[in-house]
Amino acid sequence: MSELVLYRKYRPRNFEEVLGQDHVVTVLKNAVHLKRIAHAYLFSGPRGTGKTSVARILAREAGCDEIDLIEIDAASSRGIDEIRALREAVRFLPFKSSYKIYVIDEVHMLTKEAFNALLKTLEEPPGHAVFILATTEAAKVPETIISRCQHFVFRKIPESLIRESVLKIAEKEGFKMDDEAAGLVALFSDGSFRDAQGMLGQLFSLAGKNITAEKAREFLAAPAKNLVEDFTSAIFEKDARKGLMAVEKAGEQGIEMRLFLKFILAEFRFILMLQMADSMEKEIGRFVSGDKLIFLKGKKNVFTGKELGNILSTLLDAYDARNAGYLPQLPLELALFKIVSGEK
């Protein structure tokens, strides 16, 4: 079972199936209901968050027949000749529909000349033409283009939604998957349904019918729980040597330092959440194993909320550090020193 199969099989087919983008879906549903379809839309946001899927759903809901839906990949058709050909074609009426809808994916890849040619069409589009531009890099789209579109920003999908989706897909496909394994896939997907489904497809092929957290960790090359807990404990115990040993072991095992730090950040976030609200225990328990939850609960009252917040801020600074190619572990080691020593 390939990543492609899962991604196509579980792509949303209507607005109700779109998850995590309610702020976009609500407006578009109303536009369709009121028959107020704009002539140009810009969908921007991270990869795998539903931009192209929503574009297709909007086209379908607006009554656009498949023959009148034209999809263009700007990464491979980015020049002025392609856009000139589009300008010529857009004048012709649709075959079967009220609208001829053009979906231009990765629109930021168009050349400057191509953007200028597209701008002329957006300024005076035929009444039957609708353009839906999609991009992961809105900053590279000229303001003159953006100003002529209704702009919708797609958000990263929350881990909780991805985890629930992963569990449902696994069940539908006849696999048993534990909550922690699904939580790991959600964490690694970085807010992308498509990435999560790709990982899941590979896990189905490699891990057998019973997908445990241990198998998911091995496949995803995730740091072992004991390494993450050793580093976390080092901070609570103010034991720099213990923390440095955990970092060294992670490096020896070939674990990418930003990934290691991502797991540490998640750990401290859970601890802070447990301290702030006891009711979060049940929610956090859906992401971690029982012994992990016991470990986290044992740490929740060691520091004050302010201290935990400062620790998270320091670790976030380390996560965002650049130019660490020579010594990738250095930002994490410096963060450990600042926290343990109390320096700011």
pLDDT interval class at 246 (50, 70, 90): very high
Q: Where are the alpha helices (DSSP H) in the chain?
A: 3-9, 22-33, 51-61, 80-89, 112-123, 143-146, 159-172, 179-189, 193-207, 213-220, 225-237, 240-252, 257-276, 280-285, 290-297, 305-319, 330-341
Mean pLDDT computed over every residue of the chain: 91
Evaluate if residue 56 carries a pLDDT over 90. yes
What pLDDT score does 344 carry? 57
CA-closest candidate to residue 28, choices 15, 40, 17, 39:
15
pTM for the full model? 0.85
Q: Please give the pLDDT value at position 7.
A: 85
Whether 72 contacts 102, CB under 8 Å: yes
Instruction: Report the pLDDT value the prediction gives residue 279, as an integer from 0 to 100.
Output: 84
- Tell me the average pLDDT across 100-112: 95
Q: Are 195 and 47 in contact (CB under 8 A)?
A: yes
* C-alpha to C-alpha distance for 278 and 301, rounded to whole angstroms: 12
Mean pLDDT of 109-134: 93
Token couple for 20? 């995590």
Q: Find out whether 194 and 48 touch, Cβ atoms under 8 Å.
A: yes
Residue 204 to residue 132: CA distance in whole angstroms = 35
Q: Which pLDDT belongs to residue 211?
A: 93
pLDDT mean over 143-147: 97
pLDDT at 3 > cutoff 80: no
**pLDDT in the model for residue 80:** 87
Please check the confidence at residue 253 and state whether its pLDDT lies above 50. yes
Q: Percent of the chain beyond pLDDT 70? A: 97
Would you give the DSSP letter of residue 340?
H
Task: Give the C-alpha separation, 317 to 233, whole Å.
Answer: 20
Q: Is the pLDDT at 65 greater than 70, yes or no?
A: yes
What whole-number distance in Å separates Cα of residue 187 and Cα of residue 212? 15
Q: Does residue 142 sit in helix, strand or coil?
A: coil
Residue 296: the pLDDT is: 93
Q: State how far the Cα of 168 lies from the Cα of 148, in Å rounded to an integer.
A: 40
Binned at pLDDT 50, 70 and 90, residue 331 comes out as very high
pLDDT tens-digit map of 181-198: 998 999 999 899 999 999
Q: Which domains does the chain have, with CATH numbers?
A: 21-153 (3.40.50.300), 159-220 (1.10.8.60), 225-341 (1.20.272.10)
For 317-334, what is the mean pLDDT? 83
Q: What is the percent of the chain where pLDDT is above 90? A: 73
The predicted pLDDT at position 1 comes to 46
